[in-house]
Amino acid sequence: MLKRSPSGLKEPFDLPGFLAATAAAVNRALDRFLPSEKSKPSTIHRAMRYSLFAGGKRMRPALCLGAAAACGGSEADAMPLACAVECIHTYSLVHDDLPAMDNDDYRRGKLTNHKVFGEGIAVLAGDALLTQAFEIAACCRGWPRYSHQRIILELARTAGSLQLIAGQVADLEAEGKSISVGQLRYIHERKTSALLCGSVRLGGMSANCTPAQLKALTDFGYFVGLAFQVVDDILDVTQTSDKLGKTAGKDTKAKKETYPSIVGLEESRRIAARLTKRAFNALNVFGSRAQALRALAGYLLVREA
Ligand code: GRG
């Protein structure tokens, strides 16, 4: 994406700079919001911080902050919501890695939470991160169009049994079965797209966005979220575990249908590109203020981990 420099010339948006700056700001804020490792019982706070600061890409906070910027909002106002979505995301990964779910040993390039702290503490660390998300979100300042109640409702709906958890249930139930592209799309909409969409919606809300802006962000988040999971499926079969920081080839091993297993790699790449184009189209209403969101959507399509 191009932006105007002071000289009036167009220059590319500095996505690496934006990602590094937002990740650093989010890490500082998360560190302030979370109880210290020394707070009793220290085991749970060490376990929460272990997974939260294990080196995730911080894509959901970046999308939240990018959406706030697209609607003319500030990083400071969006930050509690950016941190809340990252806590929910990390909780979902900790639980997803448990032996009762995907049974994985590595995540974010490190041993999974239950491998280090044991299954009981990992369950509780996930629970605590989910709860922490609501506490942090309740610290937002509230806006004329979006009260604290509206913000908490948004988070609860995103993480609840009709969205994030529904996706995980459908994912578990599909294991070892042959499913259609439509059924796979249902899983992706919920287990992945819901939280990416919630992240951009909450960013917009932190800027007191108009209903039309919220609709545009919803469309953008929906398509970018679907593209994200198709790319994730592709990377699972094309990348190494070292590169991904988690076990590669997991879907095939767990007998899980994915876009590459149903439609093949090349068609999966075409689908991801089409979804990303639809995400770009949704941003037209924002003009140049959506440069971070445009750059993020472009990057998520070509990412290698
Ligand atoms: C309710 C018990 C219980 C569990 C919830 C919802 C859920 C478990 C799990 C979904 C977890 C999952 C693997 C979703 C897919 C989304 C996805 C591809 C996550 C990886 O996101 P990245 O690549 O990860 O942004 P980093 O580590 O970079 O943050």
pLDDT single digits (tens) 37-83: 999 999 999 999 999 999 999 999 999 999 999 999 999 999 999 99
Pairing status of strand 110-111 against strand 2-4: unpaired
In testing the pocket of ligand 1, which one of 30, 52, 93, 228 has its CB within 8 Å of the most ligand atoms? Answer: 93
Question: In the structure, what pLDDT confidence band is assigned to residue 11 with cuts at 50, 70 and 90?
Answer: low
Rounded to two decimals, the pTM is 0.95
Residue 299 pLDDT > 90, yes or no? yes
For the CA of 55, the closest atom of ligand 1 is 27
Residue nearest to atom 24 of ligand 1 (CA): 56
Residue 134 pLDDT > 90, yes or no? yes
Calpha distance 181→86 (Å, rounded): 29
Angstrom CA distances, 47 to 82, 113, 115, stand at: 21, 7, 11
Residue 1 pLDDT > 80, yes or no? no
The pLDDT of residue 250: 86
Closest among 189, 198, 158, 210 to 275, alpha carbons compared:
189
CB 128, CB 152: distance < 8 Å: no
Q: Is the peptide bond before 41 cis (omega within 30 degrees of 0)?
A: yes
Residue 6 pLDDT > 50, yes or no? no
The pLDDT of residue 5: 43
State which amino acid sits at residue 6: P
CB 78, CB 209: distance < 8 Å: no
For the CA of 167, the closest atom of ligand 1 is 6
Using a 6 Å CB cutoff, which residues line ligand 1? 56-57, 59, 89, 92-93, 95-96, 108, 164-165, 168, 191-192, 229, 232
For 193-244, the pLDDT digits (tens) are 999 999 999 999 999 999 999 999 999 999 999 999 999 999 999 999 999 9
Closest among 211, 210, 226, 212 to 279, alpha carbons compared:
226
Residue 8 pLDDT > 50, yes or no? no
Residue 143 Cα to ligand 1 midpoint, Å, equals 29
For 81-106, the pLDDT digits (tens) are 999 999 999 999 999 999 999 999 99
For the CA of 164, the closest atom of ligand 1 is 6
* Token representation of residue 47: 């376990």
The pLDDT of residue 60: 98
Calpha distance 162→159 (Å, rounded): 8
Q: Is 58 exposed, middle or buried (0-12, 13-18, 19+ CB in 10 A)?
A: buried
For 273-296, the pLDDT digits (tens) are 999 999 999 999 999 999 999 999
| Average per-residue pLDDT for the chain | 95
Angle, helices 265-282 vs 211-238, to 10°: value is 160
For 136-155, the pLDDT digits (tens) are 999 999 999 999 999 999 99
As a three-state string, the secondary structure of 83-152 is HHHHHHHHHHHHHHCCCCCCCCCEECCEECHHHHHCHHHHHHHHHHHHHHHHHHHCCCCCCCCCCHHHHH
CB 206, CB 81: distance < 8 Å: yes
Question: In the structure, what pLDDT confidence band is assigned to residue 189 with cuts at 50, 70 and 90?
Answer: very high
List, as one string, the DSSP characters of 184-225: HHHHHIIIIIHHHHHHHHHHHHTTT--HHHHHHHHHHHHHHH
Percentage of the chain lying above the pLDDT 90 cut: 93
Residue 131 Cα to ligand 1 midpoint, Å, equals 17
Residue 7 pLDDT > 80, yes or no? no
